[in-house]
Structure 1
Amino acid sequence: MKKNILFIQGGGEGGYEADKHLVASLQQALGKDYAIQYPELSSDETAPDFGWPQQIGTLLSKTDDEIILAAHSLGASMLLKYLSEYVVKNKKIAGVFLLAAPFWEGKEEWKTGLKLKEHFSDTLPKDVPFFFYQCRDDEEVPFSHLEQYRKKLSRAAFREISSGGHTFHTDLSVLATDISAL
C-alpha cells in the first residue's frame, strides 16, 4: 500500500507551477511506494491569511487515515498555522516537512493574518515529528527565519543546506531521505 503525501505549494504568482518541479523531484526520489497529492490552492485576496488554512483543512478532511504533510514557502507557514490553530481529527500525521518557511514578524497590517500565535508550538500535535529545511542562499526567505523556528520549536529537526536557493535547486533528496526514515 502506498504512503500518502499531501504537498502544499508556495505562494505568489506562478507558485503552483513553480513548485511542480519540487513535487516531481520528491516523487522521483521516493519512488513508487509513495503517492503525492498536489492540489492547487487559490488565494482569496480579501482574507488576511489568503484562505489557505481553511483550504488545507478541507484537503486534510479528504485524505486517508495516515498522511505525510510537506509544504514549501508560504504553504509551509500556512500549514504550520493550520496545525497550530486547529485540531486534525481522525487522521494520523506521520510527519510534517516544511521547506523555506517564512517566519512572519513585524507590524505591517498585511502580515497580521499570516503570523503564528505567540505560543504556537504549544498547540502543535505532540506525537508528530516536524522537520524544517532551509538553504543558506535562499533569495526569498532569509536564513534567519530558520533560526526563529529553532527558538520556538526546539523539538523539531532542522536541516541547513549550504546552497540551493529558494527552490533547493529542485532537489528534494534530503527531504526524501527523512520521509523514508519515518
Structure 2
Amino acid sequence: MKKTVLFIHSAGPQGQGQGSSNLSSYLSKELGETYRFVSPKMPEPENPVCAHWKQQLEKELHKLTGEVTLIGHSLGGSVLLKYLTEHSLDLAISGLFIIASPYWGLDKNWQSKEFTLQRNFEQKLPSIPNLFLYHSVDEDIVPFAHHIAYAEKLPQATTRELEGKQHLFLNGLPILVQDIEGM
C-alpha cells in the first residue's frame, strides 16, 4: 500500500497558477509514483475561517489510514499545527512539513486570534519523527522572523532556510521531495 501525503494549501485564490496550485501540482507529479497524494480544497480560501478549515481538515484526516505525511503551505501549515496541538488524532504521522507559514501573533501585522496557537503549543504537539520547517530568507509575504519563531519553539525540527524570496514556490521545492523520500 502506498503511503499517503496530505497537502493543505495556502489562503487566497487557488485556481490554476494561483496560491499553492503550482506547488501542489509539482508535489503530486514528483511523489505520485510512490505516494498517494491528497490535496483537498479548503473552504473559502480567499476569506478563511479557522473553524471551517479545522472542520475540513478533520474530515480529511478521518478518511486516511496507515502511515501519513502532512504538508502545510503558508496558512495550511498554521492550521495543521493548530489542529494537531488542540485535538487528539489516532493516526500514524510519519512526517510534518511546514512551508512558509505565518506565526500568528508574532507582531502587529500578523494578528488573528482564531489562527493563533495556544500558549506552549509545542508541548501539545504529538510526537512526530520527522518535523521540517521551510522558509525563504528574503521572502516578502510571510517574513523570515516567523520561521525563526517556529524554529525556537520546535528545536527538534529540521530547518530549511532557503535562498531567495519564494513564498509560492512556483517551480516546486525539490528539497521537500528529497526530505519526504528520505524518511
Match of 2:14 in 1: 15
Match of 2:102 in 1: 102
Structure 1 contact 135–165 (Cα < 8 Å) conserved: yes
Structure 1 residue ranges without an equivalent (≥5): none
Report percent identity of matched pairs: 34
Q: Describe the shift of the 1:86–1:31 C-alpha distance in structure 2 as closer, same or farther (beyond 3 A).
A: same
CA apart distance, 1:24: 1.7
| TM-score calculated relative to the size of structure 2 | 0.89
Q: How does 1:56-75 map to 2 (within 5 A)?
A: 56-75=57-76
**Bigger proportion of residues as helix:** 1
How far apart, in 2, do the equivalents of 1:76 and 1:36 lie?
A: 17
Structure 2 residue ranges without an equivalent (≥5): none
Q: What secondary structure is seen at the aligned counterpart in 2 of 1:147? A: helix
Q: How does 1:1-182 map to 2 (within 5 A)?
A: 1-12=1-12, 14-15=13-14, 17=16, 18=18, 19-43=20-44, 47=49, 49-89=50-90, 91-105=91-105, 106=107, 111-182=112-183
Structure 2 contact 104–111 (Cα < 8 Å) conserved: no
Structure 1 contact 10–16 (Cα < 8 Å) conserved: no
RMSD across aligned positions (CA): 2.2
CA apart distance, 1:40: 0.3
| TM-score calculated relative to the size of structure 1 | 0.89
Q: Describe the shift of the 1:92–1:46 C-alpha distance in structure 2 as closer, same or farther (beyond 3 A).
A: closer
Q: What is the total number of aligned residue pairs between the two structures?
A: 179
CA apart distance, 1:132: 0.7
Of residues 138-147 and 125-134 in structure 1, the stretch that sits farther from structure 2 once superposed is 125-134
How far apart, in 1, do the equivalents of 2:110 and 2:70 lie?
A: 29
CA apart distance, 1:51: 1.7
How far apart, in 2, do the equivalents of 1:169 and 1:135 lie?
A: 13
How far apart, in 2, do the equivalents of 1:180 and 1:167 lie?
A: 21
Q: Describe the shift of the 1:109–1:77 C-alpha distance in structure 2 as closer, same or farther (beyond 3 A).
A: closer
